[in-house]
Chain A
Amino acid sequence: MFVTFNTAFSYLVLVVLAMLPHWAAAAPTVGEPAPDFTATDSEGNTQKLSDQRGSVVVLEWTNHQCPFVEKHYQTGNMQALQKDATSQDVVWWSVISSAPGKQGHVSPDQANELTASRDAAPSAVLLDSEGAIGQLYGARTTPHMYVIDPEGTLVYMGGIDDKPSTQKADVETANNYVRTALNAVQQGQAVDPATTQPYGCSVKY
């Protein structure tokens, strides 16, 4: 058998390439770069995460029909958080990953209507009906919150606060993790806690 240099070398290269699968995308981890993505928002614009470098980005998975999301919107808690954040140049993206026909799925017009009627203040509402962004981030519940620093590193992921319930009264007394994370990032400090248990309805993929 005549073995050419090319064949032998390509064998070697193939074998080295076998090592590469390990470096494929892993689950998002705090302290590591947040996975990049491109999405379409309710206004029809394209939004790309890496374009937001230089700003803090908050991702809020939502489903307007979920009692846990209602708890935060009907008390005005989420809107207040959004307004406080955006007034400090934080990019706030509400993400809807509900599949068509499932609870929480909305058309772009419906999404805009909801934003207006609830007096919400996100920078954009991303429509992810394929669930790709949700799966990329391992979003499990609505609400599920992620905070990304200006360098693109994920600094917080988990629940919105420490009182997992549907009781509206709990909003007042809860420790809001998103607010804590945003304050820490503004002051250049480490976010603590960086990962918490998210609570809510399941994302309707």
Chain B
Amino acid sequence: MKRYTGLIRIGGLPCKTPSPDHSAVFVCGQRHRSWLGSVLLFTLWLILFGFSSVTLANPVATPHVRAQLISEATAVQANQSFWVALHLNMRDGWHTYWRNPGDSGLATTIEWKLPAGFVASDIYWPYPEAIAMGPLVNYGYHGDVYLLVQLTPPATLKNREKLTLTADADWLVCEENCIPEQATLTLTLPVTSDAPRLDDRWKTGFIEARQALPKPNPWQASFSLTSDQLTLTLDALNFPSERLKKARFFPKQDGIIENAAAQTLTISDDQISLATTRGAQRNVPLSRLQGVLVLQEDLTGTTATQALEIDASATTAAANTPPTPFGYALILALLGGMVLNLMPCVFPVLSVKVLHFAHQAHNAPTAVRWHGVVFTTGVLVSFALIAGLLLLLRAGGAQIGWGFQLQSPFFVTTLAYLLFILGLSLSGALTLGARLMDLGSGWATRSDYMGTFATGGLATLVATPCTAPFMGTALGYALTQPWPTALAVFQALGFGFALPYLVLSFKPSLLRFLPKPGPWMARFKEFLAFPLYATAAWLIWVLSQQTGPTGVAVALTGLILIALAIWLLGTTAAVSRRWRLLGRLSAVAALISALALAQLPQAITPDSLPQTAMSNPKAGDWELFSPQRLAELRAGNQPVFVNFTAAWCITCLVNERVALSSPRVKAGLAEAGITYLKADWTNHDPAITTMLASFGRSGVPLYVLYPPAQQGTEPIVLPQILTESLVLKAIKSLENTDPS
């Protein structure tokens, strides 16, 4: 394969031929044999192109790309930065690359040849798309891309001087196979002393280009690492999960993540997080994560793609502690499980069982061993079930941790009920014949494996509220891992929990270290009721935090109803059948009412308003919206601009950053005497909902510009995605219709 690397010179203009491919095209013309021919050609060029500012070497068509260097303005002003763009229009099905090309490929580069004193910035890259090539993933662009560059001229430029800007652009263009291509593009611009006019031809191109640039992130971003997972977290309060359709993180550096790995999006009450697998550089410490997060947000009738610039630091935990290796986490979980046995929630339930060993150990040692194994299995299965549920919920999009049950007031109330009932049974108020409540002395001699299995399950259930403070590291690790690892850690936890029991069942000789059975057992059993009552009291306190005093009153009433139910059962136990039935029915009724009451605290929410994530405005920038204020202003014949926004609306925040906070827009609003009202719909204020509905909208963003009432014109509704020029144009349109 021959490669043509020579230069052809025509009329003093050099040009390079493109790459080592049989379909190479000469773009600068052919060599001519006679000088007459050259003169004729030169004249032809003068006629056709001589007076335009675009020379032959712009645009340049290579086999797969049409490259053009364009300038936003028609002229250059001394000391004033201006924008140029390398516009690449790729053949259908072909793509070029982003700054980080991904698994393979090469980013486009531009080498500038500029007049003295000029400074060129780095390329401002629009957000890329992920392009799959078999099992590999690249980051790049299809169709059209505008790579923006800011050029700054020196302070001294002579007027009427013509400036020649040359860009040597190199890129790799691929469909399946890749071709390196290059073009030398030249742009000539005049110098002017006034502010230059914008070039109408490229106006749309530059607007499109800027919209595709990543915007500053409105939320606090952080990331955490484990040995092979990276999780990017944005502190976004109350983000409605159905609003976000897709999210993908594109890292600036290679090797940080596996480009082809899936990225799992999780939205919780106060965070959006994206978890993915780490890449080849997973052993290298990482303190700063840079890249672009592309989000697809559902708006009314359309979807908006927003790209956010990410520059996140590691969360303190990840920065200070090394990632927990798997084995270490397992050991921690095992130890933690053993410690669980001492928790006040668990100890009473299990210690009674252990005491029964003392009886059985001498009578039926083999049975005791089986009981040990079955109990362990019961514990492991229950831990697996809860872990499985947790993982399912986590996969389904709820960011929860172990003890997630405690976030639901209903669960907290029912657990308090359960512990209360157990406490009552230990106190002797209740002799439970149910198989699940293995606390009466009647169980001591029954070799009922089902009961033991169930005890394992019960022990797990009552253990969960006590877990969090002690198992932090292991659980924190487990929840960031893929499900087999997470399940393994939970099983280790369960095994540790069941271990003392298992050991005792196999080595009953150890029981001799335990005191001999005697009357003290009954007293001890009654005493053990109190830790259970204490736990129930703690749960009521948790409920008070969640639902306030009303929730506490409701739960306490429920407890009273339970006590009533238990008394009813007890009183009618020994009398005639009819009374027994009545007793049972009333007990059941009381229990059902108690459970129904447990639902109530859920509906009560605390008064505190969540903080909005919006930037604090300067005084006088905007006012808080209210229908009264709007009516007042309109009555006063004032033009009003209303911004309907919410802290969890990405497009709203981006629009505010990009368009509404810009100095020109602020000045424009001030000059036109427009009052800027901000309607914060973060908590779904009903007055705002009604206003949105009046414009046929069910959500935010919504931008309405009300002209002065006397004009009688309709309010102007702006598009959901704003640009500076759009807002300014709308403001200007008011001026034109203003009769004064």
State in angstroms the CA–CA spacing of A19 and B380 once bound together: 12
Chain A residues within 8 Å of B19, by CB = 67, 166
Name the B residues within 8 Å of A115 (CB-CB). none
Q: Quick check: B134 and A15 within 8 Å, CB to CB?
A: no
Closest to A140 in B: B103
The answer, among A26, A29, A141, for a CB contact under 8 Å with B104, is A141
Evaluate whether A203 and B136 lie within 8 angstroms (CB atoms) in the complex, with A22-B488, A138-B280 already known: yes
Given A141-B103, A166-B180, A18 contacting B488 (CB threshold 8 A): yes
Give 1 or 0 for each of A186-205: 1 = CB within 8 Å of chain B CB. Answer: 00000000010111111111
Q: With A15-B491, A19-B488, A202-B138 in contact, do A164 and B228 touch (Cβ < 8 Å)? A: no
A12 touching B380 in the complex, CB below 8 Å, given contacts A141-B104, A158-B280? yes
Per DSSP, are chain B's interface residues mostly helix, strand or loop, or mixed?
A: mixed
Once the chains are docked, how many angstroms separate the CA of A102 from the CA of B175? Answer: 12
Q: How many residues of A contact B (CB 8 A)?
A: 45
With the chains together, A29 CA to B279 CA distance in Å?
10
CA distance in complex: A186, B280 (Å) = 24
Q: Is the CB of B370 within 8 A of A202?
A: no
- Is residue B634 within 8 Å, beta carbon to beta carbon, of the partner chain? no
Question: Chain A interface mostly helix, strand, loop or mixed?
Answer: loop
Q: A67-B20, A140-B104 are in contact. Are A15 and B176 (CB under 8 A)?
A: no
CA distance A201 to B138 in the complex (A): 11
Q: B547-584 interface mask toward A, CB cutoff 8 Å, 1 = contact, 0 = none? A: 00000000000000000000000000000000000000
Q: Knowing A19-B491, A204-B134 are in contact, say whether A197-B374 is a contact too (CB < 8 A).
A: no
Would you call A165 an interface residue if the criterion is a C-beta within 8 Å of the partner chain's C-beta atoms? yes
CA distance A33 to B384 in the complex (A): 33
Nearest B-chain residue to A102, judged by Cβ: B176
Q: What is the minimal beta-carbon distance from B320 to any residue of chain A, in angstroms?
A: 23
- Asked whether B457 is an interface residue with its Cβ less than 8 Å from the other chain, the reply is no
Once the chains are docked, how many angstroms separate the CA of A31 from the CA of B373?
41
- Complexed CA–CA distance, A199 and B176 (Å): 16
Whole-angstrom distance from the CB of B102 to the nearest CB of chain A? 9
Number of A-B contacts (CB under 8 A): 117
Q: Is A1 an interface residue (CB 8 A)?
A: yes
Contact B179 A67 (CB under 8 A): yes
- The minimal Cβ–Cβ distance linking A140 to chain B, given in whole angstroms, is 4
Q: Can you list, as one digit per residue, whether each of A14-35 has a CB less than 8 Å from chain B (1) or not (0)?
A: 0110110110001101110000
Evaluate contact between B180 and A3: CB separation under 8 angstroms: no
B24 to chain A, nearest CB (A): 13
Q: Which residues of B contact A195 (CB under 8 A)?
A: 255, 280-281, 283-284
Q: Contact: B449 with A9, CB < 8 Å? A: no
Q: When the two chains form their complex, are residues B376 and A199 in contact, meaning their CB atoms are under 8 A apart?
A: no
Please report which residues of chain A, range 137-195, place their CB below 8 angstroms from some CB of chain B when the two chains form the complex: 138, 140-141, 157-158, 164-166, 195
Task: For residue A141, give the distance in angstroms from its CB to the closest CB of chain B.
Answer: 4
Interface string of B347-382 (1 = CB under 8 A from A): 000000000000000000000001001101100110
A18 touches B135 (CB 8 A): no
B106: interface (CB < 8 Å)? yes
Residues of B within 8 A of A102 (CB): 176
Which listed residue, A31, A197, A204, touches B254 by the CB 8 Å rule?
A197
Closest beta carbon of chain A to B330's beta carbon, Å: 8
B487 part of interface (Cβ distance < 8 Å)? yes
Nearest A residue to B492 via CB reads A19
Q: Which residue in B104, B136, B282, B449 is a CB contact (below 8 Å) of A3? A: B449
CB pair A18 B20 closer than 8 Å: no
Give the interface of A toward B (CB within 8 A).
1-3, 5, 8-9, 11-12, 15-16, 18-19, 21-22, 26-27, 29-31, 65-67, 70, 102-103, 131, 135, 138, 140-141, 157-158, 164-166, 195, 197-205
Interface residues of B (CB under 8 A from A): 19-20, 103-106, 133-136, 138, 170, 172, 174, 176-180, 228, 254-255, 258, 280-284, 326, 330, 370, 373-374, 376-377, 380-381, 384, 449-450, 453, 484-485, 487-488, 491-492
